[in-house]
Structure 1
Amino acid sequence: MILCPRTTSNYCGGDFAVSFASVVNSLTFLFTGDDSVQSLSVEAFLGAATLGTLTVFGDGVTGTAQLVNLAAFGDLDRIVVTGASKDPAGYGYDDFTFQLAGTIPEPSSWALMIGGFGLVGMAMRRRSARVAFS
């Protein structure tokens, strides 16, 4: 399903903001519908701090999906997209992908790690001391 911010003239030309319920990283998405080569600005935020702005230029072909990659900004919780109103027909946005930041390993992962450390410890303990004879 394509995200299409509607304006009063009923086209996808509006600026918009996306807020995530949790902090995310490795955010990417596609934009399409550009029939001009105008720029689109995407600002990344973590709380009130601005992490940076990425400027993406349209290629003038409405059917081309272009990647917006915000992975370099690291953890973020909000983006603001501006400049879409410069394009006569506006843009559509799709395929938002991201990872939740600071995820905690599953209990089964913890059990495997602890079991592995236990086996290494047992192996080290079972080593017999070598005695050197002269």
Structure 2
Amino acid sequence: MDIPEFLSDLRATLPPEDLVTWYHAFGDPDLVDLFVERGDGCTLFATVATWLDDARVMIEEYRFESIPNEALMDFIQMFTVDLFAIRLVRKLFTRRLELSLVIRGVSYTSLRRARDIEPWEESHLNLAAE
């Protein structure tokens, strides 16, 4: 993955109100930490290493351990324009929120405890209930 080209393409495709920042982690030009903050304050964090085929992504408390580099641009774009689903999952005595995106026929899913639901999550839960 060519990091400067990826970042340039990413900035060109995101909504203008979204803020993209990045830095070389540990001063390594082949290791980049990327932050994308949406207009509503929700943040995506990704660690991208040129020598690996996958990136690690976090959206607030949701962790995605392995997003293929070729799907990362689509993943970030879907995050910025709200093309993902959140649902409430109940198991025994726990409640969890599940965030999922489908990219090129592959579903990427992450869970977190359903405490302190954020407004951006509530809007997705409300939309799912309608």
What TM-score results when the alignment is normalised by the length of structure 1? 0.30
Higher helix fraction (1 or 2): 2
Query: Higher relative CO (CA 8 A, sep ≥ 6), structure 1 or 2?
Result: 1
Which protein is richer in strand relative to its size?
2
Task: Using structure 2 for the length normalisation, give the TM-score.
Answer: 0.30
